[in-house]
Amino acid sequence: MYLINGKKYPCCTSVTMGIIGGKWKTVILFHLIEKPLRYNELRKKIDGVTERTLSLQLKTLEEDGVVNRKVYTTKPPLKVEYSLTKFGKTLIPLLNSIANWGDYVVENYAKTNK
C-alpha cells in the first residue's frame, strides 16, 4: 500500500492512474507540454470538455503538484495561466508514449466514416 498526499493506493500503477487517470487529465497535460496556456486557450483546444469539468480537473492536477496556476494581477483584466510543474514535466515521456500509441491505434485499427 502506498500513501501519497493523504491518498492510499494499492500499487504503483494505481498511483499513476490516480494522478493522471480519467477522461480529461492526460488531454490537459498533453496540451501543456509545449507552453503554458490560459484557461480559455485550454478550453478551445479541448473539444467537448465542460467549463466545470475543466476547472475541477485543473484544480485536482494543481493539488497533486503536476500543474502550476499562476495569476497575473499587475493590470486588468486578471490573467491566469497554467503550466506543468517540474514534477509535471516528468510525465512528458509518458504522455508522448500515450499519444504515440493513440496514433498507432488510429492508423491501424480505426474504421473510416463513409
pLDDT tens digits for range 47-75: 999 999 999 999 999 999 999 999 988 87
**Mean pLDDT for the chain?**
93
Mean per-residue pLDDT, 102-111 = 90
Q: pTM higher than 0.85 for the full model?
A: yes
* Average pLDDT for 35-42: 96
List of domains in the chain: 2-109 (1.10.10.10)
Distances, alpha carbon 94 to alpha carbons 44, 71, 100, 112, in Å: 24, 28, 10, 28
Nearest to 81 by CA among 72, 94, 92: 72
The count of residues in the chain is 114
